[in-house]
């Protein structure tokens, strides 16, 4: 970082280093790290391009850039990520929120509509980005989130407090539905469970396999073990005509549909991401009403 005597030169240098390293988001990553290192927002970074930098600031930026060049995602370096227009803090037991998971929020909010006093359960809550985004955008719903990781639950609780929804959400530690009593019934059960085959974990991109928690990635031998558990047990915790909404990996929808249909669910909807790839399924615990 020698001879980089102003903010503009300093952050453009790491942008160029990232580009040479074939980092797809070189411009964005460099800008975000520079904002963090120099304690500026995006506008200030642009308007202070000619401002002199100290050796300490350059060293701080250089250390951040080294971590990114080593494959660590920017969200991990900064300890936060934007999701559904909100900022979520992360730790080493929570996945970095993915844009495709915003589908779960869209679907749930659409189904809630103007309904009142609904109850939502998220299985594998992680950072809490999905359930918190739903509650932050609709005051007529309360939530409960489960996760096997205590550190993940602590992070989710912190994020819920930050977004002023903590009074409408509870968190329980345990694997999937295990922490719940069967007298608990919900209108929505949502989940983005691990869906990667165990043998594929070692072949994932470095920024995933080396920095995301394995528990949040490994879906078992065929990547579908969590879906079997949810499909088999969800009805015990779902109100009549309630919904189960799940995210999954590319091409897994066929087998997941078979699982839920075999347990008596009705396929209500399939949702695609912005690339046109089916990434979420909505199942209903449909009940016929009779006189």
SS3 readout for the chain: CCCCCEHHHHHHHHHHHHHHCCCCCHHHHHHHHHHHHHCCCHHHHHHCCCCECCHHHHHHHHHHHHHHHCCCCHHHHHCEEEECCEEEECCCCCCCCCHHHHHHHHHHHHHHCCCCCEEEEEECCCCCHHHHHHHHCCCCEEEEEEECCHHHHHHHHHHHHHCCCHHHEEEEECCCCCCCCCCCCEEEEEECCCCECHHHHHHCCHHHHCCCCHHHCECCCCCCHHHHHHHHHHHHHEEEEEEEEEECCCCCHHHHHHHHHHCCCEEEEEEECCCCCEEEEEEECCCCCCC
What is the rounded CA–CA span in Å between residue 214 and residue 95? Answer: 9
Confidence at residue 1, expressed as pLDDT on a 0 to 100 scale? 43
Cβ-based neighbours of 139, under 8 Å, separated by 6 or more: none
> Do residues 115 and 254 both lie within one domain?
yes
Mean pLDDT value of segment 103-112? 95
Q: Domain boundary at 38, 70, 102, which?
A: 70
Look at residue 274 and tell me if it is in a domain.
yes
Q: What is the pLDDT of residues 160-193, one digit of tens each?
A: 999 999 999 999 999 999 999 878 899 999 999 9
> Do residues 117 and 256 both lie within one domain?
yes
Q: Using the predicted structure, report yes or no on whether residue 24 has a pLDDT greater than 70.
A: yes
> Do residues 48 and 188 both lie within one domain?
no
Look at residue 65 and tell me if it is in a domain.
yes
Confidence at residue 181, expressed as pLDDT on a 0 to 100 scale? 83
Confidence at residue 169, expressed as pLDDT on a 0 to 100 scale? 97
Look at residue 102 and tell me if it is in a domain.
yes
> Do residues 52 and 126 both lie within one domain?
no
- Interhelix angle 7-20/55-69, nearest 10 degrees: 20
Look at residue 289 and tell me if it is in a domain.
no
Confidence at residue 5, expressed as pLDDT on a 0 to 100 scale? 80
Q: What is the mean pLDDT of the chain?
A: 93
Look at residue 106 and tell me if it is in a domain.
yes
Q: Using the predicted structure, report yes or no on whether residue 106 has a pLDDT greater than 80.
A: yes
To which residue do tokens 């929505």 refer? 188
Confidence at 288, pLDDT banded by 50, 70, 90 = low
Look at residue 30 and tell me if it is in a domain.
yes
> pTM of the prediction?
0.91
Residue 265 has a CB neighbour count (10 Å cut-off) of: 22
Mean pLDDT value of segment 102-128? 94
Confidence at residue 3, expressed as pLDDT on a 0 to 100 scale? 57
> Do residues 36 and 113 both lie within one domain?
no
Look at residue 77 and tell me if it is in a domain.
no
Look at residue 272 and tell me if it is in a domain.
yes
Q: What is the pLDDT of residues 210-259, one digit of tens each?
A: 899 998 999 999 999 999 999 999 999 999 999 999 999 999 999 999 99
> Do residues 172 and 262 both lie within one domain?
yes
> Do residues 189 and 270 both lie within one domain?
yes
Confidence at residue 114, expressed as pLDDT on a 0 to 100 scale? 84
Looking at the structure of the chain, the number of domains it has is 2
Cross-strand partners of 143? 120, 169
What is the rounded CA–CA span in Å between residue 223 and residue 198? Answer: 7
> Do residues 48 and 125 both lie within one domain?
no
Is residue 160 within 8 Å of 166, Cβ to Cβ? yes
> Do residues 140 and 175 both lie within one domain?
yes
> Do residues 66 and 189 both lie within one domain?
no
> Do residues 137 and 272 both lie within one domain?
yes
Expressed as residue numbers, the domain containing 11 is 7-70
Q: What is the pLDDT of residues 125-152, one digit of tens each?
A: 999 999 999 999 999 999 999 999 999 9
Q: Domain containing 197 — which CATH number? A: 3.40.50.150
Q: What is the pLDDT of residues 44-101, one digit of tens each?
A: 998 988 999 888 999 999 999 999 999 999 999 999 999 999 999 999 999 999 999 9
């Amino acid at each position: 970082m020698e001879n980089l005597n102003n903010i503009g030169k300093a952050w453009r240098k790491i942008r160029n280093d990232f580009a040479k390293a074939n980092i797809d988001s070189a411009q964005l990553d460099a800008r975000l790290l520079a904002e963090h290192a120099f304690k500026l927002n995006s506008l200030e970074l642009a308007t202070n391009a000619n401002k002199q930098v100290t050796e300490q600031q350059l060293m701080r930026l250089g250390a951040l850039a080294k971590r990114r060049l080593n494959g660590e995602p920017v969200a991990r370096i900064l300890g936060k990520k934007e999701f559904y227009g909100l900022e979520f803090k992360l730790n080493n037991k929570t996945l970095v929120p993915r844009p495709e998971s915003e589908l779960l929020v869209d679907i749930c909010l659409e189904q809630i509509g103007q309904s009142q006093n609904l109850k939502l359960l998220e299985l594998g809550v992680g950072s809490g980005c999905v359930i918190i985004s739903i509650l932050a955008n609709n005051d007529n719903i309360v939530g409960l989130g489960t996760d096997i990781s205590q550190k993940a639950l602590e992070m989710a609780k912190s994020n819920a407090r930050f977004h002023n929804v903590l009074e409408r959400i509870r968190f329980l530690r345990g694997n999937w539905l295990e922490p719940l009593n069967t007298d608990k019934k919900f209108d929505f059960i949502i989940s983005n469970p691990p869906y990667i085959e165990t043998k594929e974990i070692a072949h994932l991109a470095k920024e995933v396999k080396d920095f995301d928690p394995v528990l949040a990635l490994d879906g078992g031998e065929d990547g579908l073990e969590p879906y079997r558990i949810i499909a088999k047990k969800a009805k015990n915790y779902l109100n009549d005509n309630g919904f189960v909404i799940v995210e999954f990996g590319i091409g897994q929808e066929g087998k997941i549909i078979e699982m839920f249909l075999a347990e008596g669910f009705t396929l209500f909807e399939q949702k695609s991401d912005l690339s046109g790839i089916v990434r979420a399924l909505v199942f209903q615990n449909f009940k016929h009403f009779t006189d």
